[in-house]
A = this chain, B = another copy of it.
Amino acid sequence: MKHNHETTITSRIRYSEVDSMGFVYYAHYCVFLEVGRTEWLRSRGFSYREMEENGFFLPVVDLKIRYHKAARYDDLIETITTAAELTKRVIRFSYRIVRERELLIEAETTHLFMNRSGRAGSLPQELFNRITRDGAI
């Protein structure tokens, strides 16, 4: 049985990220998701910065988040990212955010490959091979 490649990155909750209830403001988890998928791409040898410099963009077209428990200021959280779907046109990431094994967040983002002209495009075969490690995600 084949498991998806997953990456884990740790973040410490900043004061600026917490709301007046003392919990991370619900929008800021989007930032941890972005940090998570950037690391996933890096683990495949892609810098998202270089991708953009080369004219490939990954705008989000769909976002789903389930909030199970809330993180607090100064907590250390881990964002675990996998690619749930990967074609030449679409990439869908799946995420769990945990704090010491306790599940805080489950989320999913769907992205289109977009070129510099702002239109949805198709990833060249060579990049596709690199990003999928020849077909596997």
8 Å CB interface, A14-44 against B:
14-16, 18-23, 25-28, 30-31, 34-35, 38
What's the Cα separation between A18 and B38 when bound, in Å?
15
Question: Is A48's beta carbon under 8 Å from chain B?
Answer: yes
Stretch from A67-75, A81-89, A92-100, A128-136 forming part of the interface with B = A67-75
How many residues from A make CB contacts under 8 Å with B? 36
- For chain A, what secondary structure do more than half of its interface residues adopt (helix, strand, loop), or is it mixed? mixed
Closest B residue by C-beta to A11: B14
Mind listing 26 A-B residue pairs with CB under 8 Å?
A14-B31, A15-B19, A15-B38, A15-B48, A16-B27, A16-B31, A18-B20, A19-B19, A19-B20, A20-B20, A20-B22, A20-B52, A21-B59, A26-B60, A27-B28, A27-B30, A27-B31, A30-B30, A38-B74, A47-B74, A48-B74, A59-B70, A62-B67, A63-B64, A63-B65, A64-B64
